[in-house]
Structure 1
Amino acid sequence: MTSTATRPRRSFFAYASALLGLLSLMAVWCFHFPELLTSKEFRAVYNETFARHLLLVGLVAAFVLGTLAILRDRNRRVAMLGVGGATLAVLLGGSNVQFDAIGQTPYSLGLDWFVISLFFSALVFVPLEHYLGRRRISPLRPGWRTDVAYFFMSHVLVQFILILVTASTSTIAGLAAFPGLKAAIQSLPVWAQFLIAVFIADLAQALLHRAYHNLPWLWRFHAVHHSSREMDWLAGSRIHFVEIVLTRSAVLLPLLILGFSTPAVNAYVILVGLQAVLAHANLGIRFGWLEYLLVLPRYHHWHHARQYDYIDVNYAIHLPLVDMLMGTFKLPRDRDAWPQEYGVMKLESVPRGIVEQHLMPFRKGKHYDDHVA
């Protein structure tokens, strides 16, 4: 009888150290080049003291976790990456790094947005999925590097995405003038505007989402999102750049036309960021009747199910009511039923890696049926 060698388990300490070490190094770069690497809009959300304290926590944790992994002889190279990144961050100034007044530049990257968002998202969802997950999958499951790359792209390029979205919507919104309707909406309290904005934005998103699934030239882009074979908090980041621009434009346009207030729109932006992550998360919590009120993990997981009878359902990202109105609402009667597989029907039709996936929609010879049939 021949024995097969088992793959050694990955060390959580080593990979956590690598993540924190690299994030700490990026944070120091943000201090050195704030006008180029940080987003003006996001800088208004946090202050310097918060950023320095967070950087200090990241540095200490990277050193401690990396050292423990090295002493335990588990994934030493990965642990050394974390310790090395943290060491370089300290040499570049660490949490005491100095920086001059932030200058004005026409464009900037959102590296600070990436660092802070990834840190807190992982801090919240990795433990939640470990203890409350529906499926026992590792945070380092196949495809995680690709999804981190998408997470990086969508956050670091946030200003360029905003420019494209604004350019595609502002002109149309300016031509579509409904002063009476705008005045009526703006006379409402912010909480009422927020609720209406959620419904209108979700309806716009769901209609476009349905088009993604039914128009071959749009499906080429959306198939990338459905290529994830495991569902967790990070899987929702896998979205083609073209789809990001199209979806955000479709959602923002009606909100601009109808004149929702800035606080209401900002509240919606926060909601969509949270719910998009939650909907993809690997959480097996029973939400009961809330599943019919809000889009929660089981609801959206069935949209990603690798089953023919669930290909064309559950398009909403906020409110199941939208799918009910569109006739695309569907959940199994068994409230404990979850999909067994995720991904496009022909898994081999979508390549691996962010570069190949971004080139895929533009390659000749691909048809709708190549991905779903």
Structure 2
Amino acid sequence: MFHRSFCQAGSDVRGFTGIKRCRSCTTESCPGLYAIRKSNMSKPLKIGLVGTGSIAHAHLPAFKQFPGRVQITAVCDIRQQAADRFAELAGTDVVFTDFERMLKEADIDAVDICTVHNQHRHQVIAAAEAGKHILLEKPMGITLDECREMLKATDAAGITYMIAQCLRYLPNSQWVRQRIIEGEFGDIWALRSDNFASMVPPKSKIDTDKSTGPGIWYLDGKQAGGGALISQSTHHIDLFRYYIGDISRVTATSWTDHPFFINGAEESIAATMEFENGAVAQVLSSWASRTPWNHHYWLLGELGSVTSRLMPGSSPAEQYIGPLDVSLPRFDDDKSSRAFVPLDIADTDLPTHLPFVNEILHFADCCQSGAEPLSSGTDNLGTMKAVLGIYESAKTGQPVSLADI
């Protein structure tokens, strides 16, 4: 089922890195997934951040905790007051409301793009043409044509292009992936992703003749590229690919008749993903179900399983990066055979237990070394093919082979 990737030197690997080798291997093709690179940057990477919404605030601790490695030297937002407020938090007085002007005038090596989804293509291409390294918040784009255009531009520019798929940078995720590679879970046969939230009132409670909806960008298919799936479930879809490999075929059904969702954005969707190794995943995502915030996944193997812990009352971000419970023979004892136990990663090779911090430091190291990031744009095309293939299947009512799109 799952094909392991081993270093050609047979090394014992223990961390993640974009550098394609592990500690004891000089082979360029070694995946080196568990040998985190020690930074030897002589000066911090200077970054211009664009888009000062909630995800930008999640990125901020990296710059506060590691100023010797990464610094925000410019801030850009189309809202002057929002840009000013974030710049004060970031410790810079260099503020722009025009992205192209920031690229031309600011003292920056790279950009951290935290904007609305339909702005990604233009901003990535502009930054690549300006010779800036790029950290882009997910999703990469809202169409596959956009994603491919961005890859073409970044490849031509020769810059580092990384997608901020934060779940890959959790110590728990790294631990689970390594155990999968070593065969400790046996064959992985199924995964499941649940992402639910009561974002909107029930359709039955809305006067459609009077309501114009809340006007929020992520409920607008033209701005977000979709609804619940592209904004929520992209996280788990990417993590599942990281765990067990690429997806070959998808089938989906969506619900798109809630009046608050416009331009094709779905309020709810159900999908099945078939992986190249024979495993199957279910994806359920909804912003119109009466439920507390719920971001949760399962991984099921013949020898072990993983479930992310339900955390009622916690924030969405806390749930995405929350604790895991694991069932494996190594944790069995006479009293609790096959029981779930909390996965407690007390010691980690990663810089912190915060994925946003880890991913930004990894980005900085890759910019300095020229190594391919763990969540590169090239790799992320596979995630976007799955997400956008699910939308195509929901639209046509037919299975979609990802090799054909």
One fold, TM greater than 0.5?
no
Q: Which has the higher helix share?
A: 1
Compare CA radii of gyration and give the structure with the larger one.
Answer: 1
TM-score (norm 2): 0.29
Q: Which has the higher strand share?
A: 2
Q: Which has the higher contact order (CA 8 A, sep 6+)?
A: 2
